[in-house]
């Protein structure tokens, strides 16, 4: 059996200490069979790199099927104008859509991403997911715009999408709600009945101040947004609480749950969610937040509540690239009180746990095949010019 030995100045295991001058030993399936010191092991047969090694990155929030819409929506308009811009776009030829999906998947591979939590409303991504080495968790996303008359049809239509997403080499899937402001209690109930505690659920959460305004006082931009689509909010009653409470009341607290965006989420909201469910993950998509709303979450709130943060790229409709490295750069640039190791854990182990892939991905540990990435840092430090070189693919 031939083993591959990769040596580097620093190995960020994520689950444990940073190893100076370490060696990772891989078998032919890229599974880690040894982690050693260069001084003890010697350098015989070792590929040596001057730089830092990190495990494969995890993207916990993407919409791969929207990859063809890159550049189609203007930046800085706010979520409601953004959504209106996206729904009014013309149809695209199917071959363009499929080609953009394939390119998006390849870009993520090149950026050292090894698992993706991917929202889907259609089956366009199924083929690419079946062929890619990336592990996909497909979140088949449902919404009925709070219209009871649409609930049953919506559910049946998306059930077909769910059935069509293949589960090749451990890919996973579940049916999930889109966001508190688009899902009726009836649809939440149907979703709850389809899920079991082994599944991960994802929901968009508190991305814009209008969302909380709707639930607090039935005011804000969503009233006109609904009117624009000719949907009635007559039966909707304000709850007097932030939108996240409506989601919690209607979701299964036994399921791992990824709250996505959380730009407006307060420390009290985070604590309430931790009370509600022991396995809540907080996916941040800073570049998408900057693209759409021109604001970012305050990560201090998540640090102070011991929250498990993960990182997502969102879609190419609301981002420039599908790169978790780029998201890390944005986080560390604008909230530089955070340290690299903290943000690296968000980008790797926390995401792998959220998606249930932490048995093989997320950290550099014996028995895992997490993918091995070298950080190429021309200035000798993690900054804008840092890039990733994939040294070994994930298992
Ligand atoms: Zn999204």
Q: What's the CA-to-centroid distance between 17 and ligand 1, angstroms? A: 33
Q: Are 78 and 131 members of one domain?
A: yes
Per DSSP, what are the bridge partners of residue 135? 115
Q: How many domains does the chain have?
A: 2
Q: What's the CA-to-centroid distance between 378 and ligand 1, angstroms? A: 33
Residue 177 included in any domain:
yes
Q: Are 223 and 340 members of one domain?
A: yes
Q: What's the CA-to-centroid distance between 41 and ligand 1, angstroms? A: 46
Decide if 54 contacts 37 (C-beta within 8 A). Answer: no
- Residue partners of 184: CB distance under 8 A and separation at least 6: 144, 146, 147, 148, 151
Residue 361 included in any domain:
no
The CATH number of whichever domain residue 47 belongs to comes to 2.30.40.10
pLDDT at 30: 97
The CATH number of whichever domain residue 61 belongs to comes to 3.20.20.140
Q: Are 36 and 50 members of one domain?
A: yes
Q: What's the CA-to-centroid distance between 315 and ligand 1, angstroms? A: 7
Q: Are 305 and 341 members of one domain?
A: yes
Q: Are 244 and 384 members of one domain?
A: no
The band of 147, judged by pLDDT with boundaries at 50, 70 and 90, is very high
Average pLDDT value over all residues in the chain: 95
E-only strand ranges, the chain: 4-12, 18-26, 32-37, 46-55, 57-62, 113-120, 135-142, 172-177, 200-205, 256-261, 280-284, 308-311, 372-376, 387-392
Residue 159's domain spans which residues? 57-355
Decide if 391 contacts 374 (C-beta within 8 A). Answer: yes
Question: What pLDDT, in 10s, does the model give residues 342-391?
Answer: 999 999 999 999 999 999 999 999 999 999 999 999 999 999 999 999 99
- Cα 279 to its chain centre, rounded Å, is 16
Nearest to 283 by CA among 139, 393, 150: 139
**3-class state of residue 129 by DSSP:** helix
Question: What pLDDT, in 10s, does the model give residues 211-227?
Answer: 999 999 999 999 999 99
Q: What percent of the chain has pLDDT over 90?
A: 93
Q: What's the CA-to-centroid distance between 192 and ligand 1, angstroms? A: 20
In whole angstroms, give the CA distance from residue 327 to residue 322: 9
Q: Are 72 and 216 members of one domain?
A: yes
Residue 101 included in any domain:
yes
Mean pLDDT along residues 71-80: 90
Q: Are 116 and 254 members of one domain?
A: yes
Nearest to 38 by CA among 49, 27, 28, 26: 49
Question: What pLDDT, in 10s, does the model give residues 14-37?
Answer: 999 999 999 999 999 999 999 999
pLDDT at 168: 74
Q: What's the CA-to-centroid distance between 202 and ligand 1, angstroms? A: 10
Residue 360 included in any domain:
no
Q: What's the CA-to-centroid distance between 83 and ligand 1, angstroms? A: 11
In whole angstroms, give the CA distance from residue 34 to residue 26: 7
Q: Are 331 and 251 members of one domain?
A: yes
C-beta atoms surrounding 345 within 10 Å: 19
Q: Are 212 and 114 members of one domain?
A: yes
Q: Are 269 and 385 members of one domain?
A: no
pLDDT at 1: 65
Tokens of 273: 């969610």
39 pLDDT above the threshold of 70 = yes
Decide if 261 contacts 285 (C-beta within 8 A). Answer: yes
Residue 348 included in any domain:
yes
251 pLDDT above the threshold of 70 = yes
Q: What's the CA-to-centroid distance between 184 and ligand 1, angstroms? A: 19
* DSSP helix, strand, coil percent of the chain (3-state; round to 5): 35, 25, 40
Q: What's the CA-to-centroid distance between 21 and ligand 1, angstroms? A: 40
- Residue partners of 104: CB distance under 8 A and separation at least 6: 64, 67, 316, 322
Tokens of 140: 């088949």
Tokens of 275: 């009370």
> How many residues make up the chain in this entry?
395
Q: Are 150 and 195 members of one domain?
A: yes
- Residue partners of 167: CB distance under 8 A and separation at least 6: 173
Q: What's the CA-to-centroid distance between 312 and ligand 1, angstroms? A: 9
Q: What's the CA-to-centroid distance between 204 and ligand 1, angstroms? A: 6
pLDDT at 303: 98
């Amino acid at each position: 059996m031939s083993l591959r030995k990769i040596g580097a100045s620093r190995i960020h295991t994520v689950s444990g200490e940073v190893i100076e001058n370490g060696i990772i030993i891989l078998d032919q399936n890229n599974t880690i069979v040894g982690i050693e010191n260069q001084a003890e092991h010697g350098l015989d047969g070792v590929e040596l790199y001057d730089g830092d090694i990190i495990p494969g990155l995890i993207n916990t929030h993407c919409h791969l099927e929207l990859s063809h819409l890159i550049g189609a929506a203007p930046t800085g308009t706010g979520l409601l104008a953004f959504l209106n811009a996206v729904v009014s776009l013309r149809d695209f030829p199917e071959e363009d859509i499929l080609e953009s999906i394939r390119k998006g998947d390849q870009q993520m591979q090149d950026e050292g991403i090894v698992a993706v939590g991917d929202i889907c409303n259609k089956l366009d991504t199924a083929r690419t997911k079946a062929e890619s080495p990336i592990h996909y968790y497909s979140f088949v996303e449902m919404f009925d715009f709070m219209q009871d008359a649409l609930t049953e049809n919506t559910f049946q239509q998306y059930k077909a999408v769910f059935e069509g997403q293949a589960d090749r080499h451990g890919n996973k899937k579940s049916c999930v709600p889109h966001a508190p402001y688009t899902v009726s209690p009836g649809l939440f109930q149907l979703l709850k009945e389809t899920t079991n505690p082994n599944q991960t659920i994802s929901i968009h959460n508190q991305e814009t101040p209008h969302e909380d305004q709707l639930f607090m006082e039935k005011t804000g931009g969503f009233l006109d947004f609904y009117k624009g689509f000719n949907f009635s909010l007559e039966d909707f009653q304000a709850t007097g609480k932030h939108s996240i409470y409506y989601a919690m009341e209607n979701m299964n607290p036994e399921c791992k749950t990824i709250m996505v965006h959380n730009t407006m989420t307060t420390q009290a909201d985070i604590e309430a969610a931790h009370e509600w469910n022991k396995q809540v993950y907080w996916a941040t998509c800073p570049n998408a937040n900057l693209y759409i709303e021109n604001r970012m979450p305050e990560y201090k709130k998540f640090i102070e509540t011991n929250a498990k943060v993960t990182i997502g790229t969102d879609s190419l409709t609301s981002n420039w690239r599908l790169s978790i490295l780029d998201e890390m750069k944005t986080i560390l640039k604008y909230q530089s009180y955070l340290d690299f190791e903290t943000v690296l854990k968000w980008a790797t182990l926390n995401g792998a746990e959220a998606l249930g892939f932490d048995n093989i991905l997320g950290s550099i540990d014996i028995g895992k095949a997490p993918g091995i990435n070298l950080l190429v840092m021309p200035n000798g430090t993690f900054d804008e010019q840092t890039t990733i070189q994939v040294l070994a693919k994930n298992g």
